């Protein structure tokens, strides 16, 4: 359902990669691997449409994402390096409001359940500013439990997580894939995720 043709990325005056092509269907998982600075995050941002490719196109259901923007975006859940949390809002407020701002009408109960699922219901009413790095990351990832989108694009989701949370997240990913979802991940860690079809894309300089 997600298809790319001849993607190339220019940063400054350096060509990070060119001719990146893959096809991702329902239930498929794609790993994007490479060293620091090889362009993984740039690729994911391109797939989301946040960055314009130097050349090439990204297709969703056979149409360029530019033309299909609304249906594509309502199917997309992206979590980048940045958490997108407001220091002055509580974990719960952060989660509810960011879901609602993305057009996903969630109740407080649902949001609380999502926080519980990833094991931080305890912090629900603490302002994000006092949370530790890993806890912040988990509040952000709780969004996945509320997501109704088919395509998940996650930039180093396991970074800063402790072992227990990593396996919770891996299980959630497996569940998403087995129910016909798609996922694209970058990671520097080795995590087992259960998927029907797994592809690997390696970026190198």
Ligand X SMILES: Nc1ncnc2c1ncn2[C@@H]1O[C@H](COP(=O)(O)OP(=O)(O)OP(=O)(O)O)[C@@H](O)[C@H]1O
- Residue 98 contact, options ligand X, other proteins, Mg ion, none, Cβ 5-8 Å cut-off depending on partner type: other proteins
> To the nearest whole angstrom, how small is the minimum distance from the Cβ of residue 126 to ligand X?
16
Residues of the shown chain interacting with other proteins in the complex, contacts defined by CB under 8 A = 10, 12-14, 45, 48-52, 70, 73-74, 76, 78, 80-89, 93, 97-98, 100-103, 105, 122-123, 125-126, 129
Please identify, among the stretches 35-43, 57-65, 113-121, 127-135, the one whose residues bind Mg ion according to the rule CB under 5 A: 35-43
- Residue 109 contact, options other proteins, ligand X, Mg ion, none, Cβ 5-8 Å cut-off depending on partner type: none
Distances (CA, A) of 180 to 40, 64, 196: 25, 22, 10
Q: In what order do the strands lie in the sheet with 76-79?
A: 76-79, 151-155, 182-186, 28-33, 197-202
Does residue 5 interact with Mg ion by CB under 5 A? no
Residues of the shown chain interacting with ligand X in the complex, contacts defined by CB under 6 A = 11-12, 16, 34, 36-42
Nearest 10 degrees: Cα torsion 133, 139, 145, 150: -70
Count of residues of this chain found to bind Mg ion when the rule CB under 5 A is applied: 1
Q: Is 45:51 a contact under the CB 8 Å cutoff? A: yes
> To the nearest whole angstrom, how small is the minimum distance from the Cβ of residue 81 to ligand X?
7
Q: Which two tokens stand for residue 66?
A: 């530019």
Please identify, among the stretches 6-14, 41-49, 68-76, 89-97, the one whose residues bind Mg ion according to the rule CB under 5 A: 41-49
| Residue whose CB is less far from ligand X, 38 or 98 | 38
C-alpha angle 100-24-134 in degrees, rounded to nearest 5: 50
């Amino acid at each position: 359902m997600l298809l790319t043709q001849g993607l190339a990325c220019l940063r400054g005056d350096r060509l990070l990669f060119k001719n990146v092509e893959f096809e991702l269907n329902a239930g498929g998982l794609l790993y994007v691997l490479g060293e620091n600075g090889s362009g993984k995050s740039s690729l994911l941002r391109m797939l989301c449409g946040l960055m314009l490719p130097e050349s090439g196109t990204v297709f969703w259901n056979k149409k360029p994402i530019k033309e299909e923007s609304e249906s594509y975006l309502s199917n997309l859940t992206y979590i980048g390096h940045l958490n997108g949390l407001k220091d002055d809002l509580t974990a719960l407020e952060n989660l509810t409001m960011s879901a609602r701002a993305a057009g996903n009408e969630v109740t407080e109960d649902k949001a609380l359940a999502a926080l519980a699922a990833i094991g931080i219901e305890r912090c629900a009413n603490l302002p994000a500013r006092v949370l530790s790095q890993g806890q912040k990351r988990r509040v952000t990832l709780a969004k996945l439990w509320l997501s109704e989108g088919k395509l998940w694009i996650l930039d180093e989701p396991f970074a800063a997580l402790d072992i227990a949370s990593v396996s919770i997240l891996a299980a959630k990913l497996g569940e998403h894939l087995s129910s016909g979802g798609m996922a694209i991940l970058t990671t520097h860690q080795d995590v087992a995720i259960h998927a029907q079809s797994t592809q690997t894309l390696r970026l190198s300089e």
